[in-house]
Structure formats: structure tokens, C-alpha cells
Amino acid sequence: MKYVTFLIDGMADISIPELNNRTPLEYAYTPNMDKMAANAVYGTFLTLPKGYSTSSDVANMSILGWDLAECLTGRGAIESYGAGIELDDRTVAFRMNLITVKDDVLIDYSAGHISEDEAGELIDFLKQEMDNDQICIRKGVSYRNLLYLQGEEFTEDVDYEKPDSSHGQYWEDLLPCANDPKGVKTAELLVELIYKSMELLEKHPVNLKRIAEGKNPANLIWPWSGGSRPKMPSFNDLYGKKGAVVSAVEVILGLGRLGKMTVIKPEGATGWIDTNYENKAHAGIELLKDHDFVYIHIEAVDECGHLGDLKLKIQAIEDIDRRLIGPFIREYAEKFSDDLRMMILPDHPVPVSIRAHTRDKVPFIISGSNLDPDPNLKAYNEKTALQGKYADLKGRELMDLFFSEKTI
Ligand SMILES: [Zn+2]
């Protein structure tokens, strides 16, 4: 048996009046998912337990079955591993966004999804001005970058706000602060760097050009979710399966690397709606030749939710169905004779009306071989999943079910 999970980041939503009280997933035209849903078991899974951040690292760790209490570190550390950079014991890595503030308000967590070239130029400039023995800035993908603080005096234990959950708020009310005396030095330095970035970025030619073009300038850095060296069991230790991850974004690639899985970022994978969906499907197929399990993560829908763009969210769901899930299933049938079990789920909701992650449990289906399908359920969405036979799974229960050798 081979196993594939299509992880559609941020897909879950709530009923929308202008869609006749359907959700975007219910409304979207998804013939390939429908085919899977006609022969599937349904259920819900709690990805974001109370007491944890509503971040994608938490959600994807939950899905893959790592114990959050034992394994969770900040997202900066996970993304650093995603970029292939391991941490030593005296380094804390923070995720660092390029963001837009206007009239003292945080208006865009992504600086208008700034292009890689423009972001690269700004990050090179910041690096030249700010890097020293203790501080190291590292270029990532577009607005998603990293900040390393090196020294015994720094810690991940500071309170921070997630920029994609903080739109419309005064940015100076959101600054990192110490939740413990040992976090004071770290919080003070982060605040100092944020203010310094404002001075440096304000008049930079890249930003002047963006403003002239009517785009949001990247006029502030926003470090958040610091993490130190994580300790996690490998995926193979957890399930006895050889696993692989396909994704564009470093947080997911990092989780894969920390779990000693094979990680692939296919050519043209961007984390946005212009991503190369076909290449992702094909990368998944190639990996299954010598792996048991592949986790194909797609970021685009999450970004549409944060933008509050309903039309774009529906389009992204339809593109994933037509350009990734459909081609994957066809190519698998051509190339493999092994049975296949497939799962679809989001890591968390991002309702377009809320534009931020919510903690609601997520809908999943498992389709393919060795199933006793839910007989009355024929379409995959947030509502049908509530009627499925696997309600409220948590922790590693979902992966244990998925990999179960019994009929499920
Ligand atoms: Zn998100």
C-alpha cells in the first residue's frame, strides 16, 4: 500500500451568505475530490489544541502526529531547518516577515506578497546594515525571512504577535515583550531592530518604486515565533513508514527535515496561486517510487484566506483539484500497481470573513483501498465531515487511522 496526503493549507471556512450559505469548498467545482469523496470515510481532526499558537507549524505537527508538548519549538527554528540550516545550542531563530504599516497601523503581513527579487534586495541591504556578532539576517522566500540571535543571553521565551493575525492594529501595540525576566534582553533587541528597520526601509529605492506602482511597501521587519534547536523523533520511528514531503514553504520543509523525511521543493513551487501545481503532483509520484508515504502541502489557499479574497480562494481550490489532485491520480494509475490510500485535509480554517486562522476542527476524508466508506456521504466539505464516523480525532490518532492495516 502507498499513502498520499493532500494538505490544503487554510482551506476550511464557514458558510458564506453570498454563496447561498455554502462554504468555498462546498461551492468550488472539484470533480476529482468528488470522485474520492464518493468512496471515503469522513471525520474531523483537532489540529490546534487550546494553549498553542494557531500557527501552521503547530497544525502540521499535530497532523503528522508529533507530540506538541514534547516536540514543539518556535516556527523560526523549524523554518531554519527547512532552509537546511541547523541550529547550535546558543542560537535562537525567529521567523521575520517584511510587512507594511501605514498611519501606524499594520495593514499587510506580506508587504503585498513582495516579489523574491525585491525582497532579496531589501534583505541584502538590511543584512549589510544590521548583521553583527549577535545578529544574522537570512533571506527566505518573498516576505518570509529569518533572523538569528546568537548568544547565551537570548531566548525564544518572549511574547509576540503573529503578523497575519494582526491586521488593522497599531503596530506599536504589538511589539515583542518579555514574559519572564530572562526574555528582557531578547525583547529589547527585537524592538530595537524593528525600529531600526523602519528608518532603513522607508526611503529605500525598492519601496519608493513600489509606492509609485501603487503597491504596499515593505517598510518594517516583524520577527516572531523564535525557536531553539528542536528535538523530535523521526517519522519512521513513529510509524515505521518511509515518508516524504513536497512543499514550497520552509516551515513544512523544515518539519519534514526534522522528522528525517525526504523533502522536495519542486521547480516553480511558490506558495502562491502562481505555483506549479503539476510539478507538485509529479514530484509526489516520483517520491512514491521509493517511499511509502508522501505529504503534498499546498499553501496558496491559505494566502487567499488571509487576503479575504473569496473569488481567489475558490479559484485556488479548483486549480488544486484540476491541476494537482486529478493529474496525481491519473499518473499513479499509469505507473503503479500498489494499492493507494489518499487523504485530503486542511491544517486549519482561514475564513475569508475573518482573514486569520481559527481553532475549529478540520474536515478530512480518506479514500482508496481497504475502506468501509460512509454510505450516505458523497461530497467532501466542512459539513459532511461532521457526520463522518471518525469525529474529533486528535494527536496521532489521524495518522494511526490512515496507516491502519485493518479496514477503516
Ligand atoms: Zn496562514
pLDDT digits (tens, 9 = 90+) for 60-112: 999 999 999 999 989 999 999 989 999 999 999 999 999 999 999 999 999 99
pLDDT at 141 over 90: no
CA 241–ligand 1 middle distance (angstroms) = 28
Can you give the pLDDT at residue 240?
98
Q: Are 250 and 79 in contact (CB under 8 A)?
A: yes
pLDDT at 152 over 90: yes
pLDDT at 25 over 90: yes
Can you give the pLDDT at residue 401?
98
CA 353–ligand 1 middle distance (angstroms) = 14
CA 133–ligand 1 middle distance (angstroms) = 33
pLDDT at 179 over 90: no
Q: Which residue has the higher pLDDT, 249 or 333?
A: 333
CATH 3.40.720.10 boundaries in the chain: 2-73+233-402
CA 357–ligand 1 middle distance (angstroms) = 6
CA 13–ligand 1 middle distance (angstroms) = 13
CA 1–ligand 1 middle distance (angstroms) = 32
Enumerate helices (H) and strands (E) in the chain, giving the number of each.
Answer: 15, 15
CA 375–ligand 1 middle distance (angstroms) = 33
Average pLDDT over residues 325-354: 98
- Does domain 2-73+233-402 correspond to CATH entry 3.40.720.10? yes
pLDDT at 30 over 90: yes
CA 345–ligand 1 middle distance (angstroms) = 15
CA 355–ligand 1 middle distance (angstroms) = 9
Cell of 267: 521547480
CA 342–ligand 1 middle distance (angstroms) = 24
Average pLDDT over residues 250-277: 94
Q: Which of the 8 DSSP states describes residue 269?
A: -
Can you give the pLDDT at residue 231?
86
CA 354–ligand 1 middle distance (angstroms) = 12
- Distance separating alpha carbons of residues 121 and 203, to the nearest angstrom: 14
Can you give the pLDDT at residue 257?
95
Per-residue confidence band for 203, with pLDDT thresholds at 50, 70 and 90: very high
Can you give the pLDDT at residue 108?
96
Q: Are 378 and 37 in contact (CB under 8 A)?
A: yes
Q: Are 30 and 319 in contact (CB under 8 A)?
A: no
CA 300–ligand 1 middle distance (angstroms) = 9
Average pLDDT over residues 303-332: 97
Can you give the pLDDT at residue 230?
86
CA 230–ligand 1 middle distance (angstroms) = 22
CA 51–ligand 1 middle distance (angstroms) = 18
User: Any idea of the CA torsion for 151, 157, 163, 164, to the nearest 10 degrees?
Assistant: 120
Can you give the pLDDT at residue 291?
98
Can you give the pLDDT at residue 127?
98
- Distance separating alpha carbons of residues 180 and 119, to the nearest angstrom: 34
Average pLDDT over residues 368-372: 96
CA 356–ligand 1 middle distance (angstroms) = 7
The predicted model scores a pTM of 0.86
Can you give the pLDDT at residue 227?
95
Can you give the pLDDT at residue 271?
87
Q: What does the chain come to in residues?
A: 408
Average pLDDT over residues 209-233: 96
Exposure string over 386-406, b if 16+ CB within 10 A, otherwise e: eebebeebeebebbebbbeee
Can you give the pLDDT at residue 272?
87
- Distance separating alpha carbons of residues 203 and 303, to the nearest angstrom: 28
- Distance separating alpha carbons of residues 315 and 22, to the nearest angstrom: 15
